[in-house]
């Protein structure tokens, strides 16, 4: 029996209720421009976007003329990706699959894992996932991973956050466990402001637990010896990496 991680349930059930409040298509367009420049790709290069969520990067990559395969295990998000592709007049190859089962081999010029989409599993499974991206690439292909910078986050994680989602408010309770380097969050839908008890005021809609990695840990997990070059950035715009950068971006050429 494969292990079921807390984040699996969270991403299957809770995340689609508010994903679009966190992930903007405007950011995706500029991020994709930067990635495509780094990869120096010409259409019709093949690109893997895993997990692709509701397809915001996949659609922008397809607009640039690339042949994009998106993988995600959430059908709700994939339906949104299909709709976004139709509206943009582009084609995407979308697969509803657990990314831990991806079996691609030497097919892609570019592979991306974006917006904090690592750390959902055990360290060993995260390492195996990185292997799958390496295997999916052609020689010379580029892998871009973008996630939270653990060393910045541990000094800045607020105990509570609120976010407006179309018509309602999301409340997030954050905790960081320094012994495991895992960020635990409880996600609530706020209800009536006049409620007398905490239970009446909010409804728990999901709990997540995500392993956060420092730059040196993730770089080592990539096994740098098998890539021809690995670079670090502090954002999907080429910002230099630093302790204070909110993002950690790894770019690795096979
Ligand atoms: C934080 S979102 C990022 C999505 C996308 N990269 C973006 O930037 O919009 C994480 C995504 O991972 C997907 N996901 C989580 N665990 C997965 C798994 N084991 N296999 C495939 N997709 C998974 C979720 O369904 C969700 O769409």
Give per-residue pLDDT as tens, 115-169: 999 999 999 999 999 999 999 999 999 999 999 999 999 999 999 999 999 889 9
Quick check: is 10 in a domain? no
> Are 179 and 211 spatial neighbours (Cβ–Cβ below 8 Å)?
no
Residues 185 and 200 in one domain: yes
For 65, the domain range is 21-149+213-253
How far is the C-alpha of 168 from the C-alpha of 162, rounded, in Å?
10
Does residue 70 line the site of ligand 1, with CB under 6 A? no
CB atoms within 10 A of CB 155: 9
pLDDT tens column, 42-101: 999 999 999 999 999 999 999 999 999 999 999 999 999 999 999 999 999 999 999 999
How far is the C-alpha of 229 from the C-alpha of 29, rounded, in Å?
25
Residues 68 and 134 in one domain: yes
The pLDDT of residue 191: 85
Residues 142 and 160 in one domain: no
Kind and range of the H or E run holding 240: none
Ligand 1 atom index nearest CA of 114: 6
Q: Which phi and psi (to 5°) does residue 8 adopt?
A: -65, -50
The residue nearest atom 9 of ligand 1, judged by CA position, is 53
Residues 81 and 98 in one domain: yes
Q: Percent of the chain, pLDDT > 90? A: 89
Buried b (16+ CB within 10 A) or exposed e, 216-227: eebbebbeeeeb
Record the pTM: 0.95
Of the candidates 194, 211, 228, which is a domain's last residue?
A: 211
Ligand 1 atom index nearest CA of 28: 8
When pLDDT is averaged across residues 159-186 and rounded to a whole number, the result is 95
Question: What region, left, alpha or beta, does residue 140 occupy, with left being phi > 0 and alpha being psi -120 to 50 degrees?
Answer: left
Total of domains in the chain: 2
The pLDDT of residue 4: 58
Strand 46-49 to strand 229-233: parallel, antiparallel, or no bridges (unpaired)?
unpaired
| Cβ-proximal residues to 224 (8 Å cutoff; 6+ apart), any chain | 230, 252
């Amino acid at each position: 029996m494969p292990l079921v991680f807390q984040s699996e349930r969270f991403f299957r059930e809770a995340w689609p209720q508010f994903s679009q409040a966190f992930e903007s298509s405007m950011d995706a367009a500029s991020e994709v421009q930067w990635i495509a420049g780094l990869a120096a790709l010409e259409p019709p290069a093949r690109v893997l976007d895993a997990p692709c969520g509701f397809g915001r990067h996949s659609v922008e990559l397809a607009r640039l003329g690339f042949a994009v395969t998106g993988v995600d295990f959430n059908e709700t998000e994939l339906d949104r990706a299909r709709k976004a592709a139709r509206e943009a007049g582009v084609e995407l190859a979308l697969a509803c699959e657990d990314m831990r089962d991806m079996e691609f081999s030497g097919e892609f010029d570019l592979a991306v894992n974006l917006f904090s989409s690592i750390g959902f599993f055990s360290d060993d499974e995260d390492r195996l996932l990185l292997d799958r991206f390496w295997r999916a690439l052609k020689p010379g292909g580029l892998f871009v991973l973008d996630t939270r910078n653990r060393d910045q986050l541990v000094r800045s994680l607020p105990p509570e956050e609120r976010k407006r989602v179309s018509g309602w408010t999301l409340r997030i309770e954050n905790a960081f466990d320094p012994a495991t380097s895992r960020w635990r969050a409880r996600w609530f839908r706020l209800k009536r402001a006049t409620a007398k008890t905490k239970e009446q005021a909010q409804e728990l809609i999901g709990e997540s637990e995500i392993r956060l990695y420092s730059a040196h840990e993730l770089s080592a997990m990539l096994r740098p010896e098998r890539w021809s070059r690995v670079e670090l950035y502090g954002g999907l715009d080429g910002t230099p990496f630093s302790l204070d950068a909110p993002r950690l971006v790894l770019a690795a050429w096979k």
